[in-house]
Amino acid sequence: MTRRSLELAACGVGQVSPSPLVGCAIVAENGEMVGEGCYIYEKLTHAEVIALNQAGEKSKGATAYVSLEPHAHYGRTPPCTEALINAGIKRVVCPIEDPNPLVAGKGFEFLRQSGIEVVTGILQAEAERQNEKYIHWHKAKRPFVHLKMAISLDGRIATRTGDARWITGEESRKKSHELRHEYDAILIGANTATVDNPSLTDRSGRKRRRKLVRVVLDNTLRLSPNSQLVLTARETPTIIFTDNETDEKIKLLKDEGAEVVRIAEGGRNLFGVLQELGKRDLQSVLVEGGAEIAGAFCDAKLIDKVSFFIAPIVIGGRDAPPAIGGQGAQVLASAMRLHDVEIVKHAEDLELCGYPSWYE
């Protein structure tokens, strides 16, 4: 049933950030599933309360399977722990603590003090993976950064003439939009913004709690006021990071609705960029390129997850841009290596996803 609580929690993807994903399943003493719930922000009701309301009187003596520690503090809603206690729940099975300092073990402690048995650690890795962005945010105090690239078999992202549409197939591109739906912000560099003139929207067709924030690192303010990103900035939040002090150009961009943020070293100051995004409660960032931006994040060791969509095509040519620019590793021993690697097939393409391990 813990797995069922994780499945229920997944229903809230894109609809809860900066809150965590939470699912709850109530099983009566006779083994009957009597209530299920998934937290979605707009409903103003937490997963535990939804499940308890479904279960009604059958909650007495039942076991609640919850994907994340129930909270014991007052926020937008009353504490979930109180709801569980008042409903007569006898046992709570939950894989992990909530790292939020307002919770962080207090929910479990309150339940135990009230005579409820609490079991933890079941499917812990899966639960941590499901809320990896939220957990990282509270532990690292910066947004979770996911690098996504579409590449050829020989590691290129375009031909030597700049032709890049499309390296991967339709199924891979559909999965890319599903990824965008999972993230608070999407980030590119000025070169990609200028050459590709992208819209950078979430076209998954699914509901979002907040609009996807578009971020451009543009030290010299090359981005045209007539670009898709700027022209649609009033409808879709767009933040441009720069160290350029040309007030006239900044005014043009702001007049179109874009937010221009001046920071020391502009887009080269990646940690500063992430700090600024964090101040806006953006817990996760999907980096979509180009090569120099990807390389800069790798050189700074600020990548938390990687997804490569690999097409069965060889581009060739020494002048064709590689997937990763920057300085790179001096020796193989210091190269970024991936662990917990998963490979998924999308028609003829492969998606390789993993988590970096950094070696000195």
Catalytic residues: 48
Count of Cβ atoms closer than 10 Å to residue 343 Cβ: 11
Among residues 84, 106, 107, which one has the least CA distance to residue 24? 84
* Gap between the Cα atoms of 322 and 291, Å rounded: 7
* Gap between the Cα atoms of 7 and 13, Å rounded: 11
* Gap between the Cα atoms of 319 and 162, Å rounded: 10
> One-letter amino acid identity for 212?
L
Cβ atoms 294, 192 nearer than 8 A: no
Cβ atoms 182, 13 nearer than 8 A: yes
Cα dihedral 100, 106, 110, 116 in deg (nearest 10): 80
Among residues 117, 128, 62, which one has the least CA distance to residue 95? 128
Cβ atoms 213, 280 nearer than 8 A: yes
Residue bearing tokens 């920057």:
326
Token pair of 35, please? Answer: 């209530």
CA-to-CA dists, residue 105 to 45, 100, 157, angstroms = 21, 9, 46
Cβ atoms 216, 223 nearer than 8 A: yes
Token pair of 204, please? Answer: 């998954």
Cβ atoms 179, 286 nearer than 8 A: yes
